A and B are shown apart, each in its own frame.
Chain A
Amino acid sequence: MKKKRPPKSAALARIDAAARPTLKRAARMQTFAGVLWPAQAAAAAWSLKEWVDGTYTWLWFAAAVFVVVGILRAVLMHRSGAILFDTADRVIAEERQALLAREIKRTEQAASSAEIAALVAQKLSVLTPYLTQFQPVMARVRVIPLLLAGLTFYFSWAAGLALLIAGPLVPVFMAIIGIRAQKASEKQMVEIGDMNRLLIDRLSALADIRLLDATERAEADFENRAEGLRARTMAVLRVAFLSSTALELFASVGIATIAIFVGFSLLGEIGWGAWQSGLSFYEGVFILLLAPEYFQPLRDMATAWHDRAGALSVAAELDKLEAMEGDEVPGHGDKVAPLAGRASVATLGALVSRGGKPVTLPDFEMQPGEAIALCGDSGAGKSTCLMALAGLVPVKGGEITVAGAALTEGTADAWRARVALIPQLVHMPDVSLRDFLSPDGTGDIPAALKLARAEGIVAALPEGLATRLGETGAGVSGGEARRLLIARAILRGADVVLADEPTADLDAATGADVVAALRGLADAGASVLVASHDPAVIAAMDRSVFVEGAA
């Protein structure tokens, strides 16, 4: 049978390499602990021999050896466990930080925020049992069964043969059952995913469901789903239990066979199976005690196989994320001194990319005190243009000149310190309004609110500036959120203000308030660029610039 091995995951290869040196040391310690078992077995066999012989010369010594070696093995496992934990902890933390640093820099998100968070907070830790259990088991399984089978052979070829035959059956049987388990487990994963989606969906609509008197139906729906999940999980577990039961059966039958063989050899009923001198009582007990430890690493491997499967699926996700190509936001995102010079912007044949497609920026110049409308059809690239001018996407061709300097990797951080961007959908971090408006606690908040025509919004909030804003700005409407962002731009001293469709979804009165606030910023000396197709906005600006569309 030709087996096609899947190409090894790049992420897993990196993780293995980072873990290898310390992992090897811990695996050696564990293997050594396993190798010490024959010493314990010999001590126990010797004690029993003295019982039978009725001599008690070495009995206490042998019992003490049994205990001391047992404790030594426990200590070795304890110490190696510490090394393994350290290794996994370090490797996972490195992966986590690399992942966050890489994903935050992307101009276009490669996975949803929730997916990245799940990877960071939950899925990466699946690598822990892979590193602390699976890897050392694989080291043990290569050495211990062979060594114990060899020792058994030394005393009796028949017993050794029994072990060698029963041993490999374990992984073979596992593989056969494993295929079925894999399928059942995939179905279960689908079911879990479906249930979680249904749950999130229904939970966020809970109030509506209640008001529509549909609670009972929604509950019955969910109950069915939960019951389906239980049935699927049991199907997976049945197969898993069957495979581990089969393993245990092999192990106990193997041990029982050796016990019976040893007993009959000692009785003289079986004259074959040992070498010329025959099997002594001491040797018989010794090989009987080796048998369970021969099977133990194989059983451990069966258990740890799931850890490997888990690690492979996480590695596949990491690979997929890493393989996504995309641009990086220029600069580091550090707080630096604002770029010196007048708040002017000029573009010349500037080219950026969005969604893998090139977007050409219109050639234009903007001087301090100017308010310009950026017009164009939907999808022509107005938002992309604003992002580029804010230094949030790299310039691929041509030039954007800001405050007299080229907007590059080196100047992006300093330029952004002067820019305020007011997006269509406002994201409110989970902080108080005061901290949102002025993160460093400086500036005259009431004055800024007044300039932004936002003082009434804060006054209406139950806790005023201490109100904590939710994810989507719960408690303030879309127009109110935009005015709060304008107030924040004033507090930051931003003199370049870029606004994206500031009047979308607003009634005329609220829209007029927002436009007036923006106009006020330009009158106070800032450069203001507003992307819009609202005639009222365009009329309120000094002039218009047109985005032509895709290059």
Chain B
Amino acid sequence: MKHLWQAFRLIWSAAPISMWQGAIMAVMVALMGTALLGLSGWFITATATATAAGVTLGFKLFGPRAAVRLLALGRAGARYGERVLTHDATLKALSKLRVSLMRRLSRLSLPEMQRLRGPLALTRITADVDALDGIVLRLALPVIAGVLTHVAVFFMLWMLVAPSMAIAIAVGYVGGGAVVLIRLTKATFGPSRTAERANQAMRRDTIGMMRGRADLFLQGQVQSRLADIQQTESEMRSAMRRLDEVDRRSGLILSVVIALVSGGALALGGQLIATGAVSPAHAAIGFFVAVALGETIMPLRRGIAEIGRIRDAAERVLAHDEQGLGAPRVGGGATGSGLSATGVGFSRNGADAPLLRGVDLEVNAGETVALVGPSGSGKSTLLAILAGTEMAYDGEVRIAGQDLRAFGERELRGLLTLVPQRSALVSGSILANLSLAKESLSRDEAEAVLQAVQLDRVVENMGGLDAELGESGGGLSGGETRRLVLARALLRHPKVLLLDEPTEGLDTQTAKNVLEGIRGWLPEAAIITASHRETEIAMAQRVVTLTPAA
């Protein structure tokens, strides 16, 4: 419930004035619809009794006639205004929320980012955010507008018809609506969650099955995998069935409430006329208003059907809300050069044995150091620590003379660049990919850096700097991607360059040329490579061996 409330506040508060205007218009729509039927009923009944009494033209006939037309037009106008206002406000809020989610993801630590599965995060930003639109449009607004309408109608009926009629209709509808909302809402929570989880599992398993198709045939597991997916599907189907049952039950109860209240108004009206409390024309207002008010409670059905899904989406979207970004810090003491680490240690979350223990390292400007060690000895982790993306380390690291912990994010990125093992390109032109590193990149500089990483010929053959790459840089081979990623890093002109297996996927001669090109581009930089290739190790002035700490 907490998350539902949070999500509601978040969306409502993005444009509270539009939301309130919309809510008031929604009340006007309901009131005008109610008045339209009530007035029509009163008019017809009154004319009938007027004839019966022999009075033909005692009425202000033109009053009702104009009023009926005005109400019909006004209702349509208010309806349009309400929808546009509330939808626009909601969409603005959702768009803001998307941007802030994206912003939050970009504040994650580097290892967290690398674990982030693209499609999963996408679901969170698109589908989950979309699901939240119902919280105001189909839940809060109908309830707020409904309650306000019933309050207004209650007083009008009290004055125009009779207190008993006002009470009967208000108790019937508000009570019936509340019972449905409170009793059935909870029943949707479990099935909503199961259905969503099973649906995600089905999607994931289908992708996995299609990608691993050849292997499944060879392992003779095609039929069993299809059966597994069918099992997940039947879980989803039975959860959806339970949701549908709740949905239909709420429709049934609400329809019965409408029949009871309207029928009750018929009986109660007769009672009131018989005792001489009201005229038939006034009693008719009661019945027709009761029929018209049915429209205020039916929308609850859609809200109830969605509430479980909204709640889960809100929970996922708001899950890490507390995790903000610290205040920007600027140490201002990074006036030196090179890098030093003293007694650096690191343990992975929850692990008993430390991954790194007592690592000492010093790299001066213009020097290249190769980190070597078997897989799992912590080379990549050490680079992540040195790059300031893994802050939970022991010991001290100084970059250009300043303690790493004193750096602001931008200050650090201004003088240090890390190229991780798995680096991604983005769709767009080659120039656009390079421009990620440097906003006002000239074509001359772009060509020069491509030459430094032995990529100038390749790019020329592809059609130059404006050649478009596909999704995630599709269209380049593994080795070409690697070199473009290196070129991007060089454009930062860092004082400290950290490279994780920089020449993976390159043949020996190209690897050698690329490493020379990097040094030629950045003669003054302190360079650290995490390496297992002979070529890389041979090019370094110094080799530091990491041994597994455990």
Interface residues of A (CB under 8 A from B): 43-44, 47-48, 50-52, 54, 56, 59-60, 62-64, 66-67, 69-71, 73-75, 77-78, 81-82, 85, 89, 93, 96-97, 100-101, 103-104, 109, 113-114, 116-118, 120-122, 195-215, 217-219, 222-223, 226-227, 229-230, 233-234, 237-238, 241-242, 245-246, 248-249, 252-253, 255-256, 259-260, 262-264, 266-269, 281, 284-285, 288, 329, 331-336, 387, 390-392, 413, 416-417, 419-421, 423, 427, 429-430, 439, 456-457, 459-462, 471, 474, 477, 492, 505, 507-509
Across the interface, which residues of B come within 8 angstroms of A423, CB to CB?
A: 214
Closest Cβ of chain B: how far from A32's Cβ, in Å?
A: 15
Indicate which residue in B47, B224, B229 contacts A266 across the interface (CB closer than 8 Å): B47
Contacts A118-B203, A256-B69, A420-B218 given: A226-B95 contact, CB under 8 Å? yes
Nearest B residue (CB) for A198? B427
**Bound-complex Cα distance A284 to B40 (A):** 11
Nearest B residue (CB) for A247? B76
Q: B374 touching A416 by the CB < 8 A rule?
A: no
Indicate which residue in B203, B212, B217, B270 contacts A50 across the interface (CB closer than 8 Å): B270
B13 at the interface (CB under 8 A from A): no
Closest Cβ of chain B: how far from A38's Cβ, in Å?
A: 15
Given contacts A208-B485, A218-B436, A427-B212, 20 further A-B contacts (CB under 8 A): A52-B48, A69-B259, A70-B255, A77-B251, A96-B233, A200-B471, A203-B118, A203-B121, A208-B424, A210-B106, A213-B414, A223-B99, A230-B95, A234-B91, A263-B64, A266-B51, A267-B51, A267-B57, A387-B214, A509-B534
Q: B44 touching A116 by the CB < 8 A rule?
A: no
Q: A203 touching B116 by the CB < 8 A rule?
A: yes
B125 at the interface (CB under 8 A from A): yes
Which 5 interchain pairs have the tightest Cβ spacing?
A333-B222, A70-B259, A74-B255, A67-B263, A259-B40
Contacts A73-B255, A223-B99, A284-B48 given: A259-B68 contact, CB under 8 Å? yes
B contact face: mostly helix, strand, loop, or mixed: helix
Find residues 110-135 in chain B having any chain A CB closer than 8 Å to their own CB: 110, 113-114, 116, 118-119, 121-122, 125-126
Closest Cβ of chain A: how far from B103's Cβ, in Å?
A: 6
Across the interface, which residues of B come within 8 angstroms of A390, CB to CB?
A: 214, 218
Across the interface, which residues of B come within 8 angstroms of A60, CB to CB?
A: 267, 270
Q: B76 touching A252 by the CB < 8 A rule?
A: yes
Closest Cβ of chain B: how far from A443's Cβ, in Å?
A: 14
Q: A196 touching B122 by the CB < 8 A rule?
A: yes
Across the interface, which residues of A come within 8 angstroms of B252, CB to CB?
A: 74-75, 77-78
**Bound-complex Cα distance A347 to B110 (A):** 52
Across the interface, which residues of B come within 8 angstroms of A223, CB to CB?
A: 99
Q: B199 touching A121 by the CB < 8 A rule?
A: yes
Across the interface, which residues of B come within 8 angstroms of A214, CB to CB?
A: 436-437
Contacts A74-B252, A219-B99, A237-B84 given: A67-B44 contact, CB under 8 Å? no
Contacts A204-B118, A205-B425, A256-B72 given: A212-B214 contact, CB under 8 Å? no
Across the interface, which residues of B come within 8 angstroms of A430, CB to CB?
A: 204, 208
Interface residues of B (CB under 8 A from A): 33, 36-37, 40-41, 43-45, 47-52, 56-57, 61, 64-65, 68-69, 71-73, 75-77, 79-80, 83-84, 87-88, 91-92, 94-95, 98-99, 102-103, 105-106, 108, 110, 113-114, 116, 118-119, 121-122, 125-126, 199-200, 202-204, 206-224, 226, 229-230, 233, 237, 240-241, 244-245, 248-249, 251-252, 255-256, 258-260, 262-264, 266-267, 269-270, 273-274, 280, 283-284, 287, 348, 351, 374-376, 387, 389, 410, 413-414, 417-420, 422-427, 436-437, 439, 471-472, 478-479, 485, 488-489, 492, 504-505, 508, 533-534
Contacts A212-B413, A241-B80, A336-B220 given: A201-B472 contact, CB under 8 Å? yes
**Bound-complex Cα distance A50 to B48 (A):** 12
Closest Cβ of chain B: how far from A384's Cβ, in Å?
A: 12
Q: A78 touching B248 by the CB < 8 A rule?
A: yes
Closest Cβ of chain B: how far from A291's Cβ, in Å?
A: 9
Nearest B residue (CB) for A212? B437
Closest Cβ of chain B: how far from A272's Cβ, in Å?
A: 17
Across the interface, which residues of B come within 8 angstroms of A103, CB to CB?
A: 210
Nearest B residue (CB) for A510? B532
Across the interface, which residues of A come within 8 angstroms of B56, CB to CB?
A: 267-268
Closest Cβ of chain B: how far from A435's Cβ, in Å?
A: 12
**Bound-complex Cα distance A206 to B106 (A):** 6
Q: B376 touching A461 by the CB < 8 A rule?
A: yes
Across the interface, which residues of B come within 8 angstroms of A227, CB to CB?
A: 95
A sample of 29 cross-chain residue pairs with beta-carbon separation below 8 angstroms, ordered by A number, consists of A44-B266, A51-B283, A56-B270, A77-B251, A85-B244, A93-B233, A104-B213, A114-B119, A116-B207, A117-B204, A117-B210, A121-B202, A196-B122, A197-B471, A199-B125, A203-B116, A205-B424, A205-B426, A205-B472, A210-B110, A211-B419, A229-B95, A252-B36, A269-B61, A285-B41, A331-B217, A392-B214, A461-B376, A509-B534
Q: A333 touching B223 by the CB < 8 A rule?
A: yes
**Bound-complex Cα distance A430 to B200 (A):** 14
**Bound-complex Cα distance A206 to B241 (A):** 39
Across the interface, which residues of A come within 8 angstroms of B472, CB to CB?
A: 201, 204-205
Across the interface, which residues of A come within 8 angstroms of B48, CB to CB?
A: 52, 266, 281, 284
Across the interface, which residues of B come within 8 angstroms of A74, CB to CB?
A: 251-252, 255-256, 259
Across the interface, which residues of A come within 8 angstroms of B87, CB to CB?
A: 234, 237, 241
Across the interface, which residues of A come within 8 angstroms of B387, CB to CB?
A: 211
Q: A120 touching B203 by the CB < 8 A rule?
A: yes
Q: B43 touching A213 by the CB < 8 A rule?
A: no
Indicate which residue in A116, A199, A285 contacts B122 across the interface (CB closer than 8 Å): A199
Q: B51 touching A215 by the CB < 8 A rule?
A: no
Closest Cβ of chain B: how far from A321's Cβ, in Å?
A: 13
Q: B220 touching A206 by the CB < 8 A rule?
A: no
Closest Cβ of chain B: how far from A94's Cβ, in Å?
A: 11
**Bound-complex Cα distance A201 to B50 (A):** 74
**Bound-complex Cα distance A237 to B82 (A):** 12
Closest Cβ of chain A: how far from B298's Cβ, in Å?
A: 11
Q: B102 touching A241 by the CB < 8 A rule?
A: no
Across the interface, which residues of B come within 8 angstroms of A122, CB to CB?
A: 199, 203
Indicate which residue in B103, B284, B439 contacts A48 across the interface (CB closer than 8 Å): B284
Q: A67 touching B122 by the CB < 8 A rule?
A: no
Nearest B residue (CB) for A461? B376
**Bound-complex Cα distance A116 to B210 (A):** 8
Q: B263 touching A219 by the CB < 8 A rule?
A: no
**Bound-complex Cα distance A249 to B72 (A):** 7
Closest Cβ of chain B: how far from A410's Cβ, in Å?
A: 15
Q: A64 touching B263 by the CB < 8 A rule?
A: yes
Contacts A288-B44, A334-B222, A427-B215 given: A212-B488 contact, CB under 8 Å? yes
Across the interface, which residues of B come within 8 angstroms of A331, CB to CB?
A: 217
Closest Cβ of chain A: how far from B428's Cβ, in Å?
A: 8
Across the interface, which residues of B come within 8 angstroms of A264, CB to CB?
A: 47, 61
Closest Cβ of chain A: how far from B445's Cβ, in Å?
A: 15
Indicate which residue in A48, A196, A206, A209 contacts B126 across the interface (CB closer than 8 Å): A196
Q: A256 touching B44 by the CB < 8 A rule?
A: no
A199, A246, A509: most-surrounded residue (chain B CB, <10 A): A199
Across the interface, which residues of B come within 8 angstroms of A212, CB to CB?
A: 413, 417, 436-437, 488-489, 492
Nearest B residue (CB) for A246? B76
**Bound-complex Cα distance A114 to B33 (A):** 47
Indicate which residue in A207, A419, A477 contacts B110 across the interface (CB closer than 8 Å): A207
**Bound-complex Cα distance A507 to B535 (A):** 10
**Bound-complex Cα distance A176 to B300 (A):** 31
Closest Cβ of chain A: how far from B362's Cβ, in Å?
A: 23
Q: B424 touching A51 by the CB < 8 A rule?
A: no
Nearest B residue (CB) for A509? B534
Indicate which residue in B199, B237, B283, B419 contacts A89 across the interface (CB closer than 8 Å): B237
Q: A255 touching B36 by the CB < 8 A rule?
A: yes
Q: A117 touching B95 by the CB < 8 A rule?
A: no
Indicate which residue in A47, A89, A97, A217 contacts B439 across the interface (CB closer than 8 Å): A217
Q: A233 touching B91 by the CB < 8 A rule?
A: yes
**Bound-complex Cα distance A221 to B106 (A):** 14
Q: A505 touching B105 by the CB < 8 A rule?
A: no
Nearest B residue (CB) for A222? B102
